[in-house]
Every structure is written in C-alpha cells, then in structure tokens.
Amino acid sequence: HAVHELIIQKNVTRSERLLIKGGRIVNDDQSFYADIYMEDGVIKQIGDNLIVPGGVKTIEADGKMVIPGGIDIHTHLQMPFRGTSTVDDFSQGTKAALAGGTTMIVDHVIPEPGSSLVEAFERWREWADEKVCCDYSLHVDITHLNDSVKQEVLSLIKEKGVNSFQVYMAFKDLYQMSNSELYEIFTFLGEHGGIAQVHAENGEIIAEEQARMLEMGITGPEGHVLSRPEELEAEAVFRAVTIASQTNCPLYVTRVMSKSAADIILQARKKGNVVFGEPITASLGTDGTHYWSKNWAKAASFVTSPPLSPDPTTPDYLNTLLASGDLSVVGSAHCTFSVAQKAIGKDDFTQIPEGVNGAEERMSVIWDKAVVTGKMDENMFVAVTSTNAAKILNLYPRKGRIAVGSDSDLVIWDTDATRTITAKTHHSAAEYNVFEGMELRGAPMLVICQGKIVLEDGNLHATAGTGRFIPCSPFPDFTYKRIKARKQLAILKAVPRGMYDGPVSEFSPMSRGGTPSASTRTSPTKAPLRNLHQSGFTLSGPEEAPIRPAGRRIVVPPGGRSNIISLS
Amino acid sequence: MSGTGYQGKKNIPHLTSERLLIKGGRVVNDDQSQYADVYVEDGIIKQVGENLIVPGGVKVIEANGCLVIPGGIDVNTCLHKPYLGTPPVDDFYQGTKAALAGGTTMIIDHVTPQPGESLLEAFEKWQEVADKKSCCDYSLHVDIPHWHEGVKEELEQLVQEKGINSFQVYMAYKGLFQMPDSQLYEAFSFLKELGAVVLVHAENGDLIAQEQSKILGMGITGPEGHPLSRPEELEAEAVFRAITLGNRVNCPVYITKVMSKSAADTVATARKKGSVVFGEPITASLATDGSHYWSKNWAKAAAYVTSPPLSPDPTTPDHLHSLLSCGDLQVVGSGHCAYSTSQKAIGKDNFTLIPEGTNGVEERMGFVWDKAVAMGKMDENQFVAVTSTNAAKIFNLYPRKGRIAVGSDADIVIWDPDKIKTITAKAQQSALEYNIFEGMECHGGPVYVVSQGRIVFEEGKLQVQQGTGRFISRKPFPDVAYLRIKYRNKMMSKQGVSRGMYDGPVYDVPATPKYITPAPSAKTSPTTHQPPPIRNLHQSNFSLSGAQIDDNIPRRSGHRIVAPPGGRSNITSLGC
C-alpha cells in the first residue's frame, strides 16, 4: 500500500527540482550558509556552488533562514465526537498546518473503548490517506486494556508503523486507567520499544470536583477550569513519572498546561528519568483567564483538558523551560469544534467538547514568545518545533533535519514578518481562534513539502491526498538508549542466606489476606499473590513449630536464643 | 471516659501525696529557655520561677543545671495491633515502660480495626486494654480500614463523644486497607467537616502489589524484597497525591512515617507553597537506614521490615534531621510496633508476610538529641518542639501537654545532654529479643522522668505501675491545623460567571450518549453502566430546550457550520 502511494507521489513530484540559493540553513545543532538542491522530494546536495541540471527552479532565499519543516506531533483532525467530528478534517487541518510552516503532523487514533485498536487505526488511515496534504504518522490511544489489546499493540508496533501510544489518567469511566493498568501497559511498551504518552490529570478527583461545581450551580465554562485545577495535572504527572520509572519505560507527557506540571517534569529529568514534556500552542500563547469571559462562546472556545492555567505568567514560564530544554516538543493539540458543537455544553460545562486550535499558529507563537524575546536561539527553535519530535518518534534524520538524504520538507522562515491572528484569515474551518487579535512576529515565507512548493507569497497550493503515511519504528535511540542500559543494570538479585531455623510464631491465616466483606474497593479477582503464599504456609509451617496458643508471646525461643536470630 | 479514669486513679495513694520541687534546672520550652524551679502538686505544675514558696516536706529533685523539658509525646505507637491473630510483644504495659525509660510521658496509639469491624468497638477494646495496662497518659488515633457510609456515623461519635480527633487512612495495602482517590476525597471531605486531622499512610499500593508479584516471580523471597518492592519514589508519589487531595478538599494532612528523602522533600516543597501538611519521621528513619535489609542474617534483615521501608540510601537520616531542624518536618514518632523474631519468621519464605514494625519508643528522644542537637543542627527548643510540643499542638493537647507552664500536667523530664548510652537489646525495656539500633552509642538521655507528678524513672530505675495512665481526650479543630483552613474556607467559595443566555446554534446530539461504556471492562466500577445522573440531566435538558432556528436545515453528521444561519450573531463572535 505504502509503495503504491509512493509511486503516485513520484508522478506528482517528479518534475519538481528545486534549488534554494543564498539561505542560512538552521538545524538544531548549527547554522551555516549553503545552497540546497533537491530532487524527487529528497535533498540531494548541500553546499556552495552546487552543480545542478539545467532548467531547475531556483528560489532566492536572500540570507533568510531555511529550517526543517515543522512537525506537529499532536493533532486531532476529523476526530469523531458524538456522531459528529471536529470541523477541521485531514485536508483542512493539514492546510492550516502547512500555512504555519508545519510539513508533517502526527494525529491521534482514538478507538472507542472496547473496540479494536487495529481497526480504528485502519479507519484513521483511510480518512487520512484520502485527504491529507502533508506527510503524517499516527499515535494510537489505548482506551481500555485486556490481553487482546496487548496483542493489537504488538502488531501495531511490528507491522503497522506505530510506536507511540497514549493512555489516559483522566476521563473517569471512559478512558481512564487505574495505576495497575498503567503499570501493565508501561511494562509492555517498555519491553517492545514503544513510547508511553500520557494524558496526565487525576480523573478521580476531577469527577468529585465536577460534581461539586455543578452542585454549587456553576455550569459555565469557568467550571471546567475550577474542577480541573493545575495541581491535579501536576499530581498525575508525578504519578506517571513514578510508574514509568518503576517500569523503565520512556514517558511522554502530552499537553503540559501549567507551571507546576512543567516543574514536575523538570525535576524528574534532573533526577535522570526518561520523560518528555509537550506544551501546546495554547499553553505557550494564551492563558485560562478567558474562561471567565462574559461571552459564553468565547469562554467555551478555550475549553481543553488539562485546561489552560488561569495564571497569566504560565506561557512565559513554559517558554522558558522550552528554551532551557526541560520541555522537549511543541504540539498544537489542534482539535477544533464549531461554536455550535461547543454549545452542546451550554448548560453543563462537562459536556463542552474539548479542544483548541493551534496547528497554524504553533511555530509563530514560539518564535514570537521565545526567540524574539531572547529566551531561545534559532537552533533550539528548530529542535522544539521539529527535530526533537522526529527523534522521539524515530523519524530522524529523514525528518527534522536539513541534510543530504533527508526528505525535502523545509521552510524559509521570515523573521521580520508580522501577522495578526484572526479567524477571518486563518485556514482552519473554526469560526473562532483562541489567539484572536494577537500580533505574532515570525512567519513562513515559503513552505516546501515533499519537494513541492506549497506556500508562496501567501498563497497555499496544497492538494488533498498527497500526504504519505510515514511509519515509525520501535526503540528510537533518543528515548531508548538509556532505557536499554538501565535494563541491564536493573536486574535484581536475592541475598543468598542460610535457612532461617529459629522458631516461627503461629498465626491464623484467615485474618490478613482475605477481604472480610464485599466492597467495591477491591479488584474483582482475589489477589493470587496471597493465596499462593497461604498455601505455602500450610505445607511448611506447623510441623516445625511447637503448638502454642495463638496470641502468646515468645520472648525467648525454645532452646535459647540461637545464633541466627541475635543481631550482632 | 477520661473523667472516670481519672477518678479511679485518685485511689492510688502516692499519686496525690506526691509534691515535687525541681531545683536548679534550666526550663526549656519550644519558645524559650530559662533558669527556674518547678513546683508540682497533684500531678499539675503549680509554680514556675525562682525562690518559690513551697510547703515543707516536699521532695526535692536537684537538676544540677540539666535541662527540664516537657515529657516527650510519642504520636505513633502500635502496642495492640495484632498480626494474623497474634499481638505484638510490647503491649501497653511493656511499651509505655519503654517509653518512660526514654523520656516519653505520653503516647498516642493506633487503633487498627479490621476491614468490616466497627470502629467504635475497636476503639473501646483498645481503651479497655490500655486503661488496664498503660503506665503513662495515652490517647488513640483510629485507623479507617474501609470507607463506606456507615463509617461516617461512627466517626462523628468518636469525634464528638469519645475525644478522638485524628484518623488514619491508607494509600497502600491493596485489597486490604487501601482506598482509591475518590474515597480518599470523600474521607478527607468528611473528616475536615468534623475538624479531625487526617493521618495518611502514604505509599502507592497498586504499584507495590505489581512490584511484589514481579519480585516474588524473580525468586526474591527474603527481606530485601521488601524495600525492592517499595522503592522510595512510591512513597514520594503517594505523599504528593495525599497533599493534592488535602489542598483540593482544604483539609490538613499529616503524613505518618516519613522514611525517605524524596518523601520529606515533597512535604517540604508543599509547605513552601502553603499546604497545611505535617510530616512525621520516626526513630528508625532518623537513626538507621535500609542497608540492613541485605544482611545475610535473615532475622536481622527481617527486624527492619516496616512500611514504608527504611531507605537504603545511608544519607537519609542526616537529611531528615536537617528538615526536622528547620521546621519542614514537625514531629518525631517512633512507629514502635514490636514483633518477635518468631513472629517475623511467619514470612521466612515470603517477604510480603513478614509482620511490619520496628522498635523505637525508648530510643526516640535520645537519637534526636544525639543526631540533631549534639551535631549542632538543632537547638534545645526545637528539640522540645519536635519531641513534644508540636505533637501536642497538632493533636490539640496543648498547653496541657507539651509545655512546662503553670497549670500544665506535670509530665517532666530532667534531660542530661552528656549522658552516654549504648543501645542493646539486653538492657532495653522492650520485650523484644533484638533492637534495630543494637550497638549504637547515643548521647543525651533522661535522668529523671516525672509522669503525672510522680517520679517514674530515677537513676536508671523505673518505678511504674500498670493502669496508672489516663486516657486523654482531644477536641476537634486544633488551632495549628485548622486556623488557616477556616480562613481558606471563606476565601474558597467559588462563583459562576453571570452571562446572558447563549442563543447561538447548538449541534444536535444524536440519541446514543457519549458516556456509556460500550463493553464491560475491568476498569469501570460495576455500577457505572448507566450514565451518571448529572449527564442524564443535561441530555434531557437538550431535548426540552425546544426547536432551534436551524432545525429545518437537514444536517448530515460531520457537517460543519462555518457561519451560523442568519450570519454571525454578536455572542458567537469572539472579539471582546
């Protein structure tokens, strides 16, 4: 299937031979002046005074930055929701992405809980292949867990080109996983080279808080943020980091929305945990004060989970951590619902469909908030908008780098351009924009996707269905090198001891392991662990120990204190 | 109950006749030190000062410049907690004897009902046993093994009638005591209304269960499996979660047994952010470490088994002392729960069955002095704070306990900073045949201990009598925990935004609601196959809200509404 696509693709792009002259190539590690020659959608030569065939289209970059096309590692295009779907489908959404300098997206497959992961994946492939205007990959969300799910995950990793899977710590009774389930999934992914992505919020407490808010009569969008305070995000991030560290699995936190959640990631990284944090366009560009807007539609348009923090210093703080490398990747989490769709929750904030726009604004927001302000250099800009994502998903150096042999997805970035964001001119189909009225410095001047010019002079020439599915292979070096080394170190050994030969107290085996009364808090099946050991005891216990009434103390064991029990 | 207990004690002749004058000592409270004499009558401090006028024939103790400090309060003991039907070897008699010998004149013991057992009955059982055996004043925490509606009534009764203001919940012991987050939320909410202090055993039980089976599967069955299956980050994680819950509910949280650096750091960070949280390291975590779990001697390794486990990181005690000194940790308990080696040996083939608990009630104050005060980390006033005063404040015993002042109970210790003692099981008061601090040298110790106005420890000798200890009832809403909470309650009332009605188009939701779980799966609770009631409310709301202006326009699913019919109305445009 993929090969077939490639041929179609080549027919379209065969004629495109491009030379970019006089640009400054900016990769994540260095910047240098050189020309780039590309053919058949691949970069063929880089250097000065290149020898190229005649009749090649030449683009004069005039000393402007030439950067690897952006990779938006988090989108929800054409996402089904209660019989409808997000207003930006794969065509509309990728057009918006291209208009913002992003030449690849990674979308989330969200199977209905209980349904097949592979089937959902295939469905998403079909939707995307028909409409997508740029290359794409897919994450698959694990919305429930059983043995067949594990088999499906394995076949997605081995046969389908998926290496990242998202699990949910929120959305109680829908997608939420318990700690034990998270432990199982993380263990499984750690063994098979997958990346565990996690939606980190404490769903249990959110459910309680939501009920409390509704009871207090708070039904508007402000209830969304009031019932999901940022410490619930930080708590879940902390827990996810703990579980990932226990299971030795790389962790990727999607949508870092608050200072405290970012701080937890920062501290964990300082301690050596393999964890990556993804702030999104909205958390870097705006804040949660808008939930209190008197305009319901405006307030509702900001509803996403975890919510934007009402603390207005949050974007600045997240940009700082992004610049210092403590947060790794910027996604957009582009998930757009129309106002009419948002209005499903007009009387109850818990019913408002969640999601904000951001695919088009993603790169400009970072340039404006981090690079222009002097927090971040241009190389780091490339790292957080493109290269790191490529490394995490094992697409590097095909994507995320300007080098010979890499795909010719690149952007000429105009550092001087200024544009004002407004729903009137954006490429998304949403009738609002959460960044409405913001003036952003830095914008793409020219976008090349698969060796074809798709944006030039402000005009978009994207064709639906030209994007290819790019498979991601397991065990990316960037995330797994350390994990592999640790696996070898983490082998635990028992202490060889002589048999304990002292007295053993009598005990009544029933009073500990079994739950005396039925209660909802225990798992439905009895813990096999304890049963196992109870039976162990009935075999080895009473023969050795003299019969003694239960409850009696043994101050001095019979036969005096033996050597093994004295504590020298 | 405390009243009748006290009446009973009046019959003991030497209690009432005891009049004491402590001369020439330096009275050390948590806020100041002063040279003063202390006069005691009827178990109460009657005068503090110089040149006191006292009746003739009073017994005089010469303090010789030693410290005169409030008797220690040990807030964490388990002297009656059974394990698989057998009680610990130190009961209320043996345990309080050990406490007094170490300078502790009051204990707060944990009532540990089994899941399903009545809290009230368990409490009464504990009180009966303690009244008969205890040699010093005591109070009780009640553990909540299982959250359900019926517990609420019992909790109310315990707080309002029985004088209990602290309850412990468990985040570990899966399938036994562990509560999920939503139950913890409910428990915190309820206990906060009662004005109680929530004690939390903070470890992530779900992950422990997974780790235990993994480690047993690897063939590790010895005591080293205990710390391996309970790494310190699981403690830190649970502490973080407990604090988050406390913040959400606006309820004070008290972390029992802070055993590791990362858990302590989590408490310290939360306090810096303003959370009302208290941390309690125990004797064992302050004086020794978890490297002993790898001892070749099974009995020795098993002696250290307690939960959360001692950290294998040998720098832990030092770090915890530092935090205790600067006030980031507040109270030192002992976690004293003494099981004999033969009881520990129940788990000789499986570390998960080793009964948990270490000794420490006798050594508690000595090690804080030795490792914090003698090292110059902590001053004598902070020493009094962490061994006695803070506990009295948090559990609402102050200033009756925890302070040397006129009117306070005459629980007094004459403390000699220069006393040197080598810890050994041979010389201890505990009935255990081992001591986890065996061979350690400890600077600082009591020369005299006065409990209820009576000399109970003098020149290394105990003179105690079982049953002389009284139950001390405690009122809810202790100031140190609840004053801030009360203000925050007023601050935290939330208000919705008053808006005009949204009058734009509304997407028509198809009949199949979103929130029904399509297939039964283990992760949902058994009762959630119907959508929760709030959601029904709003589904019905929608069908009631009547005809929409665009009802006549047929819409296929997935259809976008870029501009609502009739053009963009003001309310849906997003300009401010």
pTM for this structure? Answer: 0.82
> What are the contacts of A117-120 at 24+ separation with CB within 8 A?
A117/A142, A117/A149, A117/A152, A117/A153, A117/A156, A118/A152, A118/A155, A118/A156, A118/A160
Confidence of residue B541 (pLDDT cuts 50, 70, 90): very low
pLDDT reported for residue B519: 39
Element holding B187 (H helix, E strand)? helix B181-194
The beta-carbon neighbor of A82 closest among B176, B294, B510 is B510
Q: Is residue A349 part of a domain?
A: yes
Q: Please write the tens of the pLDDT for every residue from A474-491.
A: 999 999 999 998 888 877
Residues of B in contact with A341 (CB under 8 A): 507
Please give the CATH number for the structural domain made up of B67-489. Answer: 3.20.20.140
Q: Is B3 on the interface with A (CB under 8 A)?
A: no
Task: Quote the tokens at residue B270.
Answer: 């939360």
Contact B295/A at CB under 8 A = yes
Cα B47 to Cα B41: distance, rounded to the nearest angstrom = 9
The confidence score (pLDDT) of residue B523 equals 39
pLDDT category of residue A506 using cuts at 50, 70 and 90: confident
Are B67 and B74 contacting, i.e. CB atoms less than 8 angstroms apart? Answer: no
**Degrees to nearest 5, angle at CA B564 with B558 and B570:** 140
Confidence of residue B18 (pLDDT cuts 50, 70, 90): confident
* Contact state of A502 with B179 under an 8 Å Cβ cutoff: no
Question: pLDDT grade, residue A518 (50/70/90)?
Answer: very low
Chain segment A459-476, per-residue pLDDT in tens: 999 999 999 999 999 999
Return the structure tokens found at B417.
């900073």
Q: Taking CB atoms and an 8 Å limit, are B234 and A242 in contact across chains?
A: yes
Highest mean pLDDT among A15-24, A542-551, B264-273, B486-495: B264-273
Q: Which of A36-50, A552-566, B388-402, B418-432 has the lowest mean pLDDT?
A: A552-566
Higher pLDDT, A512 or A293: A293
* φ, ψ (nearest 5 deg) of residue A368: -70, -45
Q: What is the dihedral of CA A70, A73, A78, A82, to 10 degrees?
A: -150
Contact A206, A171 (CB under 8 A): no
Cα separation, B465 vs B467, in Å, equals 6
Q: In terms of CA atoms, which chain B residue is nearest residue A545?
A: B342
A492 pLDDT band, cuts 50/70/90, is confident
Structure confidence at residue A413 (pLDDT): 97
Q: What is the pLDDT of residue B457?
A: 96
Distance CA B338, CA A553 (A): 11
Peptide bond into A306 cis (omega under 30): yes
For B342, the closest of A226, A344, A503 (CB atoms) is A503
Peptide bond into A397 cis (omega under 30): yes
* pLDDT tens digits for range A390-423: 999 999 999 999 999 999 999 999 999 999 999 9
Going edge to edge, which strands form the sheet with A102-109? A70-75, A102-109, A135-141, A164-168, A195-199, A251-256, A275-279
Spatial distance between the Cα atoms of B506 and B546, rounded to a whole number of angstroms: 11
Q: Closest Cα partner for A381 from A442, A456, A437, A315?
A: A442
What local confidence, expressed as pLDDT, does residue B518 receive?
38
pLDDT of residue A358: 96
For A225, the domain range is 66-489
Q: Which of B525, B526, B510, B486 is nearest to B558 (CA)?
A: B510
Decide the pairing of beta strands B454-458 and B253-258.
Answer: unpaired
Q: Give the ipTM of the model, two decimals please.
A: 0.77
Rounded Cα–Cα distance for residues A509 and A518 (Å): 19
Half-sphere exposure of B489 (CA within 13 A, CB side): 11
- What pLDDT shows up at residue B115? 87
Domain membership flag for residue A272: yes
Q: Based on the structure, what is the number of domains in chain A?
A: 1
Rounded distance, CA B303 to CA B281, Å? 18
In this predicted structure, the answer to whether residue B402 has a pLDDT above a threshold of 70 is yes
Q: Measure the CA–CA gap between A137 and A71, rounded to whole angstroms.
A: 10
What mean pLDDT is predicted for residues A249-274?
96
Reported as a single tens digit per residue, the pLDDT across A5-60 is 444 444 444 457 999 999 999 999 999 999 999 999 999 999 999 999 988 999 99
Q: What integer pLDDT is reported at residue B3 of this predicted model?
A: 40
Q: Measuring CA to CA, which residue among A166, A77, A82, A155 is closest to residue A116?
A: A155
With an 8 Å Cβ cutoff, are A340 and B507 in contact? Answer: yes
Q: What percent of chain A has pLDDT over 90?
A: 80
Residue A163: inside a domain: yes
Distance CA B146, CA B51 (A): 57
Give the model's confidence band at B85: pLDDT under 50 very low, under 70 low, under 90 confident, else very high: confident
* Residues 6 or more apart whose Cβ sits within 8 Å of residue A230: A257, A258, A259, A260, A261, A306, A309, A311
Instruction: Identify the pLDDT of residue B512.
Output: 52
Q: Which carries the bigger pLDDT value, residue A276 or residue B546?
A: A276
B555 or A299: which carries more pLDDT confidence? Answer: A299
A537 within domain boundaries? no
The pLDDT confidence band at residue A514, using thresholds 50, 70 and 90, is very low
Partners of A246 on chain B (C-beta within 8 Å) are 207, 210-211, 231, 233-234
Quick one: CA dihedral B188, B190, B192, B197, positive or negative?
negative
Please write the tens of the pLDDT for every residue from A93-105: 999 999 999 999 9
Is residue B576 very low, low, confident or very high in pLDDT (cuts 50, 70, 90)?
Answer: very low
Does residue A66 have a pLDDT over 70? yes
Which among B212, B248, B299 has CB closest to A565? B299
Nearest Cα to Cα of residue A89 among A141, A132, A120: A132
Place B521 in a pLDDT band, splitting at 50, 70 and 90: very low
| Distance between CA atoms of residues A97 and A89, nearest Å | 12
| Residue among B214, B572, B576 with most chain A CBs within 10 A, to mutate | B572
Has residue B571 got a pLDDT over 90? no
- Selecting from B207, B557, B575 the residue whose C-beta is nearest the C-beta of A84 gives B557
What DSSP line would sit under B522-547, residue for residue? TTS-TTTTSPPHHHHHHHHHHHHS--
Shortest Cα distance from B362 to chain A (angstroms)?
18
- Beta strands A452-456; A459-460: pairing state: antiparallel
B261 neighbourhood in chain A, CB within 8 Å? none
The 3-class secondary structure across B279-312, one letter per residue, is EEEEHHHHHCCHHHHHCCCHHHHHHCCCCCCCCC
Nearest Cα residue in chain B from A89: B558
* Closest to A505 measured CA to CA, from A540, A538, A537, A552: A552
Residue A84: closest C-alpha in chain B:
B558
Q: What is the mean pLDDT of residues B24-37?
A: 95
Closest chain A residue to B149 measured between Cα atoms?
A519
Q: Which residues of B touch A214 (CB under 8 A)?
A: 534
Domain ranges of chain B: 67-489
Phi and psi, residue B407, nearest 5° = 100, -15
Residue of B nearest to A295 (CA): B571
pLDDT at B503 (0 to 100): 85
Instruction: Examine the pLDDT at B542 and tell me if it is beyond 70.
Output: no
pLDDT at site B572: 44
Note whether B86 and A551 are within 8 A (CB). yes
Quick check: B567 contacting A, CB < 8 Å? no
Q: What does the pLDDT average to over A235-255? A: 96
Q: What is the pLDDT of residue A509?
A: 61
Render pLDDT for B180-221 as a digit per residue (tens, 0 to 9). 999 999 999 999 999 999 999 999 999 999 999 999 999 999
The per-residue pLDDT for A495 is 87
Place of tokens 């202490």: A495
Name the one residue in this structure whose structure tokens are 């997206």.
A105
pLDDT at A541 over 70: no
Q: Write the DSSP string, A154-220.
A: HHIIIII---EEEEES-STTTTB--HHHHHHHHHHHHHHT-EEEEE---HHHHHHHHHHHHHTT--S
Could you give the angle at which helices A230-247 and A179-192 cross, rounded to 10 degrees?
50
Distance CA B233, CA B485 (A): 29
Set of chain A residues whose Cβ sits within 8 Å of the Cβ of B117: 516
Tokens of B66: 């030693």
Average pLDDT, chain A: 88
Residue A165 covered by a domain: yes
A426 or B520, greater pLDDT: A426
Using CB atoms and an 8 Å cut-off, which of residues 224-253 of chain B contact chain A? 224-225, 228, 231, 233-234, 236-237, 240-241, 244-245, 247-248
Model confidence band, residue B560 (pLDDT cutoffs 50, 70, 90): very low
**Confidence band, pLDDT 50/70/90 cuts, at residue B511:** low
* Mean local confidence (pLDDT), B356-364: 96
Is the pLDDT reported for residue A563 higher than 80?
no
* Closest by Cα among A395, A276, A253 to A325: A276
Q: What confidence score (pLDDT) does residue A528 get?
A: 35
Q: Do B248 and A238 touch (CB under 8 A)?
A: no
Does the beta carbon of B496 lie under 8 angstroms from any beta carbon of chain A?
Answer: yes
CATH of the domain at A185: 3.20.20.140
Q: Residue B559's pLDDT is what? A: 43
How far is the CA of A479 from the CAs of A139, A190, A194, A404, B77, in angstroms? 16, 11, 9, 24, 46
* pLDDT at residue B529 in the model: 39
DSSP secondary structure letter of residue A92: H
CA distance B391 to B136: 16
Looking at beta carbons, which residues of chain B come within 8 Å of A82?
Answer: 509-510, 512-514
Residue type, B245: L
Q: Identity (one letter) of the amino acid at A34?
A: A
Measured CA distances, B388 to B104, B382, B413, B460, B470 (Å): 9, 10, 11, 22, 18
What is the torsion angle, in degrees rounded to the nearest 10, for the CA atoms of residue B532, residue B533, residue B539 and residue B540? 160
